[in-house]
């Protein structure tokens, strides 16, 4: 399995959000680091096919990003996603499962399973508007996993999670990353230290670093700051 | 097909789960029921110095009218009406009075031949005003010849009330659909759920269709409910007499060969089609403008503008096009609009053409909307 991002560019009227980013992603967890406005979310949206690039392509095993087959193997958790306040947690997952093409029985089975995974089984029948921020985030993680995605894109997935949930989440992602491609962006560098096989760093729309992360570096945060400093940024 | 049925049920749930839908629907439903009843329940008449409630007056009038039902409007009946002073022939008097444009003297001295001749002269003037072509006049003359020479009187107040309330009913339907469906697409953007749905396997065409079908279902349901409420309250109050009466008893200057009950059913069918059109338009604007408020403003602004514009029949084409705007078409006026439309060699009456036009317009909106939806991108907020 291979996700190929080839010279991907997104240019707005007076700014380049993503500038000729090229990547080849295989099975594993990829951690995407970058300051606000670096282009992480724009890149992820283009990988998910919800934002059309100005130029460049995204393909997964030959499938183009705009195809239904591509979307069938994609899981996406946006940075700031919405929900339907009058839906229960279970309704929301069943709805998302039907959008992902799961049959009724598979949708119910998978929803129950994922509600257990994210510890929301007791809140499954409560309306989402009664959920806390962390519960909504866990529900968002659950929806991204409904179709057992081969490509999982997670934009700031740990935002709103408490430390215990964060640890559970890291373990879950590490497990998924064994057989699938996981691209994860975060501001919390420590989240990546434990699970990312490869670190990607973006700045001003460009990919400034791509390298394996095996823990031999003593501090990822210091490494990240060093990388961005080398590019001339004063912290 | 791609979980369309499941998606459809969820989309319908999203629409009807909103509080605003229930509040607006309840208020409008109440208005529709009161619209039929208000004329009878909240007013009174003074007859020969005695105050009579409108309801009592209607009950007495209805009883008198029922005694006359089935009788031809001929010289005998007109003579009885002219000799009577007990208001037992009130309905016949009113019918003749309307034809003679309120000339009481003429009504009290008319005979059947003069009465039907007056109707013919009204039709001739109407055809001239509408600038009908000789071909159209020939068409309507042949229609006229298929109408009975002498009409048989039936009490048709129930159907008349339904038909006369259609214009108001249309505005109520328009408001309900506009309020409830203007957010179908734009709310996804507002809630930021679009980025979740669009990247799903069925997030493009199947979801678009599911949303459209749910919106149309809501529109059809709303139209059925409002029309049924208005019709039921009218028929319960006045009775369902006169289903098979000629339409000319309700609108003498119409040349339609339909019956009173049939015309009410036809208007119901048109009302359903218009509800589909309104639903499609509200959802189309919701998708293209990405704002429920903007879609609502544009819909209501368009309706107000159309209502304010009057195009005289001298500008035949413009006037005829304007007559198909639903706010004009769903009214008693359209029953007397004899301008035909030639389509593939066939001459179609306005309602026959509307049965083709409205679904065709809905289809065009459906296709155009799908193009917008398929190319929609989640850009910065």
Min Cα distance A164 → chain B (Å) is 26
* Cα distance between residue A121 and residue A119, in whole Å: 6
Q: Are B198 and B153 in contact (CB under 8 A)?
A: no
User: What integer pLDDT is reported at residue B86 of this predicted model?
Assistant: 79
3-state class of B200 per DSSP? coil
Tracing tokens 């998978």 back to the chain, one arrives at A110
- A82 and B196 in contact by Cβ < 8 A? yes
3-state class of B154 per DSSP? coil
- B192 and A71 in contact by Cβ < 8 A? no
Min Cα distance A222 → chain B (Å) is 30
In this structure, is the dihedral angle defined by the CA atoms of residues A196, A211, A200 and A61, taken in order, positive or negative? negative
Q: Which residue in the set A81, A87, A99 is minimally distant from B203, CB to CB?
A: A99
Sequence ranges of the domains in chain A: 1-73+149-235, 83-147
- B196 and A96 in contact by Cβ < 8 A? yes
Helices B166-181, B19-41: crossing angle, 10 deg rounding = 170
Min Cα distance B198 → chain A (Å) is 6
pLDDT at B269 over 90: yes
- Following CA atoms B331, B333, B339, B342 in sequence, which dihedral angle do they give, to the nearest 10 degrees? 10
* Cα distance between residue B219 and residue B16, in whole Å: 11
Is A84 near chain B, with CB under 8 Å? yes
Check residue A127 and report its DSSP letter.
Answer: B
Percent of chain B with pLDDT over 90: 80
Closest CA to B239 of B161, B163, B167: B161
Closest CA to A53 of B378, B124, B84: B378
A8-40 pLDDT, tens digit each: 999 988 889 999 999 999 999 999 999 888 999
* Cα distance between residue A157 and residue A138, in whole Å: 9
Chain B contacts to A (CB-CB under 8 A): 2-3, 6-7, 10, 13-14, 17-18, 188, 190-204, 207, 377-379, 381
B199 vs A contacts (CB less than 8 Å) = 48-50, 71, 74, 76
pLDDT at B381 over 80: no
Min Cα distance A13 → chain B (Å) is 13
Cα-based distances in Å from B236 to B173, B233, B241, B278: 22, 5, 11, 29
Closest CA to A209 of A197, A201, A217: A201
User: What integer pLDDT is reported at residue A108 of this predicted model?
Assistant: 96
* Cα distance between residue B268 and residue B261, in whole Å: 11
Q: Which of residues 96-155 of A touch B (CB under 8 A)?
A: 96, 98-104, 107, 143, 147
In this structure, is the dihedral angle defined by the CA atoms of residues B47, B53, B58 and B59, taken in order, positive or negative? negative
B17 vs A contacts (CB less than 8 Å) = 86
B49-89 pLDDT, tens digit each: 888 888 888 898 899 999 999 999 999 999 999 998 778 89
DSSP string, A132-169: -HHHHHHHHHHHHTTT--SEEEEESTTTT--HHHHHHH
Min Cα distance A3 → chain B (Å) is 16
Tracing tokens 């439903």 back to the chain, one arrives at B29
Phi-psi domain of B361 (left: phi exceeds 0; alpha: psi -120 through 50; beta: other): alpha
- A71 and B207 in contact by Cβ < 8 A? no
* Cα distance between residue A184 and residue A77, in whole Å: 10
User: What integer pLDDT is reported at residue B1 of this predicted model?
Assistant: 52
Superfamily of domain A1-73+149-235 in CATH is P-loop containing nucleotide triphosphate hydrolases (3.40.50.300)
The band of B174, judged by pLDDT with boundaries at 50, 70 and 90, is very high
Is A209 near chain B, with CB under 8 Å? no
* pTM for the predicted model, two decimal places: 0.90
Q: Which residues contact A47 (CB under 8 A, 6 or more apart)?
A: A3, A5, A58, A65, A151, A153, A183
Cα-based distances in Å from B317 to A109, A151, B306, B332: 61, 58, 16, 20
Give Cα B303 to chain centroid, integer Å: 15
B198 vs A contacts (CB less than 8 Å) = 49-50
The band of A169, judged by pLDDT with boundaries at 50, 70 and 90, is confident
Q: Where are the alpha helices (DSSP H) in A48-157?
A: 68-72, 89-99, 104-117, 133-144
B378 vs A contacts (CB less than 8 Å) = 45, 50-51
The band of A235, judged by pLDDT with boundaries at 50, 70 and 90, is very low
3-state class of A4 per DSSP? strand
């Amino acid at each position: 399995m291979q996700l190929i991002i080839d010279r991907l560019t997104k240019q707005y009227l007076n700014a380049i959000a993503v500038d000729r980013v090229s990547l080849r992603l295989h099975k594993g967890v990829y951690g995407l680091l970058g300051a606000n406005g670096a282009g992480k979310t724009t890149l992820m949206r283009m990988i998910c096919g919800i934002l059309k690039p100005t130029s460049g392509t995204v393909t997964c095993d030959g499938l183009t990003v705009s195809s239904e087959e591509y979307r069938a193997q994609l899981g996406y958790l946006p940075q700031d996603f919405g929900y339907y306040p009058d839906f229960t947690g279970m309704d929301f997952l069943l709805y998302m499962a039907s959008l992902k093409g799961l049959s009724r029985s598979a949708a119910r089975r998978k929803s129950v399973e994922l509600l257990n995974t994210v510890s929301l089984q007791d809140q499954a029948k409560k309306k989402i508007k009664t959920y806390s921020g962390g519960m909504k985030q866990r529900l968002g993680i659950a929806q991204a996993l409904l179709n057992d995605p081969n490509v999982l894109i997670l934009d700031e997935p740990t935002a709103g999670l408490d430390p215990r949930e964060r640890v559970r989440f890291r373990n879950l992602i590490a497990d998924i990353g064994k057989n699938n491609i996981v691209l994860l962006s975060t501001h919390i560098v420590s989240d990546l230290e434990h699970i990312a096989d490869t670190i990607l760093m973006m700045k001003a729309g460009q990919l400034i670093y791509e390298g394996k992360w095996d823990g031999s570096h003593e501090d990822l945060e210091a490494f990240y700051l060093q990388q961005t400093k080398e590019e001339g940024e004063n912290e | 097909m791609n979980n369309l049925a499941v998606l459809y049920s969820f989309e319908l749930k999203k629409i009807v789960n909103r509080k605003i839908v229930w509040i607006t629907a309840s208020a409008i439903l109440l208005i529709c029921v009161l619209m039929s009843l208000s004329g009878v329940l909240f007013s009174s008449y003074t007859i020969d110095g005695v105050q009579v409630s409108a309801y009592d007056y209607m009950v007495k009038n209805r009883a008198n009218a029922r005694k006359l039902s089935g009788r031809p409007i001929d010289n005998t009946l007109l003579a009885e009406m002219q000799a009577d002073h007990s208001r037992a022939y009130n309905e016949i008097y009113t019918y003749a009075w309307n034809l003679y444009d309120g000339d009481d003297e003429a009504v009290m001295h008319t005979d059947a031949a003069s009465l039907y001749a007056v109707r013919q002269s009204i039709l001739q003037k109407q055809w001239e005003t509408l600038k009908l072509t000789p071909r159209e006049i020939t068409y309507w003359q042949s229609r006229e010849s298929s109408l009975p020479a002498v009409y048989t009187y039936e009490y048709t107040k129930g159907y008349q009330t339904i038909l006369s309330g259609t214009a108001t009913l249309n505005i109520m339907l328009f408001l309900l659909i506009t309020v409830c469906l203007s957010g179908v697409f734009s709310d996804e953007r507002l809630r930021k759920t679009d980025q979740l749905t669009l990247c799903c396997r069925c997030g493009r065409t199947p979801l678009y269709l599911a949303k459209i079908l749910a919106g149309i279902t809501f529109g059809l349901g709303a139209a059925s409910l409002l029309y049924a409420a208005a019709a039921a309250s009218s028929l319960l109050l006045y009775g369902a007499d006169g289903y098979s009466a000629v339409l000319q008893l309700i609108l003498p200057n119409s040349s339609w060969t339909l019956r009173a009950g049939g015309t009410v059913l036809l208007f119901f069918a048109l009302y359903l089609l218009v509800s589909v059109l309104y639903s499609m338009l509200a959802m189309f604007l919701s998708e293209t403008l990405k704002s429920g408020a903007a879609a609502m403003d544009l819909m209501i602004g368009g309706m107000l503008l159309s209502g304010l514009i009057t195009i005289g029949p001298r500008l035949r084409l413009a006037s005829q096009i304007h007559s198909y705007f639903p706010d004009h078409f769903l009214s008693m006026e359209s029953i007397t609009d004899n301008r035909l439309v030639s389509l593939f060699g066939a001459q179609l009456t306005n309602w026959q053409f509307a049965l083709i036009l409205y679904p065709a317009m809905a289809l065009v909106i459906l296709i155009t909307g799908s193009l917008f939806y398929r190319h929609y991108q989640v850009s910065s907020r």
